[in-house]
A = this chain, B = another copy of it.
């Protein structure tokens, strides 16, 4: 593909010869015939040893470059878009496998691929150009949009809606019962039925083995453009605002609302009935037990130490309240002898 062909699709300005490139790689990995990108100035020195034949770069660095370049405002974003051209989502052959079990009441759109051993229940509606990998199970009354990709071994319970262009990775479970019980006097738990389902928007991506529970009365909601990593738990009645990103191993407890354009880092635990405002960033391994009302970065995790050093801190942490009171006592003594300001 000529650089000018890329520019015709994605914008940018050509500097140098209009050569052909056949792939995009990082500075280290690019081979002759491939284009690379410089997303930060610290990577600029690497261009000298790179074998790339062209580079995506900001205007301000163009004087350092001797190979053909596409000048853009955001080389990292442009790289993602070029890579999408060279590496489109793989498309399964458009056919419905004879081993797929599809209830006669289903409506399947045009140009779908439904693979071996897929099982689809009653009254399921699937849009056009949607592809389903092998061994996916879809229960009754599910609605799936256009251009959706469902990878292998996914389980979708009933009352789930999935929007257009959404990608769900292998092993994901959508719409299982939320974790709700009413304990009796003895502490025996009585199940609270969870019949609200799940509503997933457009352009969402859901990572492998993630679980999204169905709501109690009304749906758990994943809005447009949300991206969720692997092994994430989204509990019942949660709302994830549009374009929020949630990294792996994170859990969001019941009835919590996360705003738009948030970032929740890995291994975070967001408590139940918490409200997090738009544009909040929650650090890794962070527990959030109360609302976040102001954008910004929040964390509860402390740095790791060598065990010996850590143990010393841990033992003093136990005395922290005592230390506080002892400082107060010392201050009071001082003030008694010398007056409050003498020592300043």
Contact = CB atoms under 8 A, between A and B. Distances in A.
B173 A230 contact: yes
Given A116-B101, A271-B284, A305-B298, A320 B317 contact: yes
Contacts of A301: 287, 300
A179 B229 contact: yes
Interface residues of A, number: 134
Interface in A283-298: 283-290, 296-298
A146 interface: no
A248 interface: yes
Contacts of A247: 179, 253
A48 interface: no
Nearest to A90: B158
Contacts of A184: 74, 77
A171 B169 contact: no
Contacts of A229: 179, 233, 235
Interface stretch (A11-19, A62-70, A191-199): A191-199
Interface of A: 25-26, 29, 74, 76-77, 79-81, 83-84, 86-88, 90, 97, 99, 101, 115-117, 119, 133-135, 137, 139, 151-155, 157-158, 167, 169-171, 173, 176-177, 179, 181-193, 195, 205, 207-209, 211, 213, 216-218, 225, 227, 229-231, 233, 235, 243, 245, 247-251, 253, 261, 266-267, 269, 271, 279, 282-290, 296-307, 310, 312-321, 323-324, 326-327, 329-334, 336-338, 342-344
Contacts of A151: 155, 157, 176
A251 B248 contact: yes
A83 B182 CA distance: 11
Nearest to A332: B343
A289 B311 CA distance: 14
